[in-house]
Amino acid sequence: MSEDACRIDVWLWRARFFKTRSLAARVIEDGGVRLTRGGARSPVDKPSRAVRPGDVLAFAQGQKWVAVRVEALGVRRGPATEARALYSVLEPSGEGAPLGRPW
């Protein structure tokens, strides 16, 4: 993988959305992650799929959907403050709202 891209399972783990890479990979393989790049939306079906700064990811966290823009790739799974610098949240999800597909 090039320096301007990262495996999506690794990125989700580094950004602290999932406790382990294997959990992130399982959610991806189950179709629980959507990627928007250049206006094209697609489900992600492989943990090895590349993510780049500027990509938008939507995925389930508990009973709500989270949508984030990838701002940086990171080099490790660091503390929470470091992880928050890897993304920006695009739209707040309603607490307790029923889980629905973002598209």
> Domain locations in the chain?
6-91
Planar angle of CA 37, 42, 46, nearest 5 degrees? 100
Which residues have CB under 8 Å from 90's CB, separation 6+?
A: 56, 67, 68, 69
Q: Which residue has the tokens 């993304």?
A: 87
pLDDT computed for residue 1 by the predictor:
60
pLDDT computed for residue 65 by the predictor:
87
pTM to 2 decimal places: 0.84
List the chain pLDDT tens, one digit each, 103 residues.
Answer: 667 999 999 999 999 999 999 999 999 999 999 999 988 999 999 999 999 999 999 998 888 889 999 999 999 999 999 999 999 999 754 444 444 444 4
The CATH class, in words, for 6-91 is: alpha beta
**What does the alpha-carbon distance between residue 42 and residue 88 come to, in Å, rounded to a whole number?**
20
Closest to 42 measured CA to CA, from 4, 51, 5 = 51
